[in-house]
Chain A
Amino acid sequence: MQHFSKKEYQKQVSKQEKSPWIKNLIWAYCVGGAICVLGQGILTYAKQMGLPKEDAGCVTSITLIFLSGLLTGLGVLDKIAKHAGAGTIVPITGFANAIVSPAMEFKNEGFILGVGAKMFVIAGPVIVYGICSSVIGGLIYYLITGGRL
């Protein structure tokens, strides 16, 4: 092969068909929005049933996580997510899916090093950096306010 330039080739490759981002954006907006509406519905209902605001928020998160886990187990969520993309990944539903799906996948490797270890393979970084940033956020808050709430 005489004529081959890596740079030109990479330029040519970069011109290839990209993901249809407008379509993906609309899907993500609609599905993500629908999940938020559902969440709001659960929150309002829980408050109407007499739960305090914070507890009602907890109930909302738990319900959405449960639904996402259930739909992942039934093999439905990945089919919705295929179209919805960020619409299902960004809300708490995506986090639940990221934990449940490897837990299902790696059960053949046993409960300790299979399910137990692998279930955090995708969501692990979110937990690590989520906790780290909340600690840093807390320290900054403490330094600014001097510990007064």
Chain B
Amino acid sequence: MTKTIGKRTLIFPSRPSVNGFYSVVGEKEAQGPLKDWFDLTIGEGHFGEDSWEKAESKLIETATMGAIEQSKLSLTDINCFFGGDLLNQCISANYALRSLQIPFLGLYGACSTMAESLIAGSVFLDGEFGKNVICSTSSHFCSAERQFRFPLEYGGQRPPTAQWTVTGSGACVLSKTGEGPYITHATIGKVIDAGITDLNNMGAAMAPAACHTLCAFLEDTNTTPQDYDKIFTGDLGSIGKDLLRQLLSDNAITAENLEDCGDLIFDSETQDTHAGGSGCGCSASVLNSYILKQMKQKKLKKILFMATGALMSPTSSLQGESIPAIAHLVQIEI
């Protein structure tokens, strides 16, 4: 028996349950519209460490420990950790796992990693390879800037389409049994390249991938956006969100319940974040606070969470390549 419906949507008959979740964010995120939803704020970006990379690693570690504590389990109960980050060789996750000592599968899907880790974790649990797994990702504004763009003190100007990398991490414990919310379906994204080359317009690069995955999921499940309380995209930002709406309407789909984590996390008017938030930590921290808490409170019952990633590399961009993008979708319900 294959556990799929339609062409490529996965179903999880065992319904892996989110038994614990935790979010930790930086100072700027904690001043944004979602400030009351996050579990912990680190204040100044170094988080007591002497480099941005170490600080980011500590973000993952803190979020993971928080989620484990909330699920009332201990480190030894966790069978596998699925996660990664934006940095080369996924160093934030690697170094966090050096001290956590949980079996580890590192993932890279740029900003789509949170959904990717949920899918991998759900497949693992549904295949009965373990009882509890961790799904987690992180990003840090300062470590991402120095790897992908310019030094922090460099005096440059950001165009209106640019997004602001979120400093934050989110982690959740998925278990074989529990009180939910449950992961019920998932659609694994394909790499979509719309030929966008502007490194300061990730929203435009990712919107077609989001549209592609959402259309595939709706077709496979024979549902419409109205069947869900909310559809949360990862970090398209305000510009990417508008583009996605346009692309969906070209395909005769209206999704008024569409929200975007990158659009939600900052107030672009007062926080000078231009098109909104981005980075793995964006959708991870919003999912593991604002979204899952609302599900626990039964304000949201059935949602789609679709993290989007621009698979951009400074090397290939310099070689003239366009920016490929991917979007993974999971359905979460109570």
Chain A residues proximal to chain B, CB less than 8 Å: 1-4, 6, 9-10, 12-13, 16-20, 24, 72-73, 75, 77-78, 80-82, 84-85, 88-89, 94, 97-98, 100-102, 104-106, 108, 122
Contact = CB atoms under 8 A, between A and B. Distances in A.
B161 A16 contact: yes
Interface size class of B (residues with CB under 8 A): 20 to 34
A132 to B, nearest CB: 20
Contacts of A12: 243, 246
Contacts of B152: 78, 101, 104-105
B157 A101 contact: no
A89 B215 CA distance: 45
A108 B246 CA distance: 45
B204 A13 contact: yes
A134 B250 CA distance: 55
Interface of B: 50-51, 146, 150-161, 194-196, 201, 204, 208, 211-212, 215-216, 239, 243, 246-247, 250-251
A46 to B, nearest CB: 26
Nearest to A74: B153
A18 B160 contact: yes
Contacts of A88: 155
A82 B157 contact: yes
Nearest to B151: A105
For A13, A16, A24, which residue has the most chain B Cβ atoms within 10 angstroms?
A13
27 contacts: A1-B208, A1-B216, A1-B251, A3-B251, A4-B250, A10-B194, A13-B204, A13-B243, A16-B160, A16-B161, A16-B204, A18-B160, A19-B159, A19-B160, A77-B153, A80-B155, A81-B156, A82-B155, A88-B155, A89-B155, A97-B153, A98-B154, A101-B150, A101-B154, A102-B154, A105-B153, A108-B51
Given A3-B251, A12-B246, A13-B196, 14 more contacts: A1-B212, A2-B215, A4-B247, A6-B194, A6-B195, A9-B194, A13-B243, A75-B153, A81-B155, A81-B156, A89-B155, A101-B153, A102-B151, A105-B152
